[in-house]
Structure 1
Amino acid sequence: MAEARAVLRYVRVSPRKARPVVDLIRGQQVPKALALLSHTPRAAAKVVEKLLRSAVSNAEQKNIDDADNLWVARAFVNGGPILKRFRSRSMGRANSIHKRTSHITIVVGTKGKPVSA
């Protein structure tokens, strides 16, 4: 199975919020996945849609197949570095704020086609 991938690193979206969006498209055909993402009302959906389009473009660049025959083979979200900030509170205290980042990876490929060597 021929594959192409796209990786987006250091996205300012929490992994906890990005994982449900990525779970929607895992194992889907690319046109259906793009339709799902365009109608998903979450902030991470726009980022994942752009990344999926990039993976499809990479597949077309590698002459794997056109977008209609591609599937989302693998898609996952890993946590990136955490930006640590502080907010002042009453009586001289401070609360910590963790601004989380994500590394999102999408791999698209063809189903059932043998890999040409």
Structure 2
Amino acid sequence: MAKGHRSQIKRARNENRDTRPKAHVKYARVSATKAKIVLDTIKGKGAGEALAILAYTPRYAARIIEKVLKSAVANAENNYGMDVSKLYVEEAYANQGPKLKRIRPRAQGRAYRIEKHTSHISIVLNER
């Protein structure tokens, strides 16, 4: 555990902070498995090329990921002053979020549970 005054602890924490531009979407209504399929297609690609790939990917997750990528590019440009043409997707991952539990009525008064999956999608960019 770090010792010292709270301001010293915070200062030390901020010095080791990751300075790569990133963006997250939490509780996206798409399963992590389906999001990972799309994310694997853009990993390591340039930001412009990744946006082009997502524009022609016929999956629901691609629309969500496109928004996250645009947000990460905007963060890089505005918060870090990076050159957009040099950016590439360094990390892209989707973690499981909470499941929305719903009930489906079945025959003879039974009820089956339906789990609607959510995910937390993150994209981290870097300059070449």
Structure 2-normalised TM-score?
0.83
Query: Distance between the aligned counterparts of 1:43 and 1:91, measured in 2?
Result: 35
The match for 2:90 is 73
**In the alignment, structure 1 residue 94 sits paired with structure 2 residue 82:** no
- Structure 1 counterpart of 2:32, from 15, 32, 37: 15
User: Is residue 21–residue 80 contact of structure 2 (8 Å, CA) maintained in 1?
Assistant: no
Query: Distance between the aligned counterparts of 1:31 and 1:2, measured in 2?
Result: 21
Higher mean Cα deviation, 1-10 or 81-90?
Answer: 1-10
Deviation digits for residues 58-102 of structure 1, max 9, x if unmatched? 001123422211010100000000011111100111111000001
Higher mean Cα deviation, 83-92 or 63-72?
Answer: 63-72
Query: Distance between the aligned counterparts of 1:102 and 1:79, measured in 2?
Result: 5
**Larger strand fraction of residues:** 1
The match for 2:9 is none
Query: Distance between the aligned counterparts of 1:44 and 1:107, measured in 2?
Result: 17
Segments of 5+ residues of structure 2 without an aligned counterpart are 1-17
Deviation digits for residues 8-61 of structure 1, max 9, x if unmatched? 000011111111001111111111100000000000101100100000000011
**In the alignment, structure 1 residue 51 sits paired with structure 2 residue 68:** yes
Count of paired positions: 111
List, as ranges, runs of 4+ consecutive aligned residues in structure 1 with deviation greater than 2 Å: none
User: Highest Rg: 1 or 2?
Assistant: 2
Segments of 5+ residues of structure 1 without an aligned counterpart are 112-117
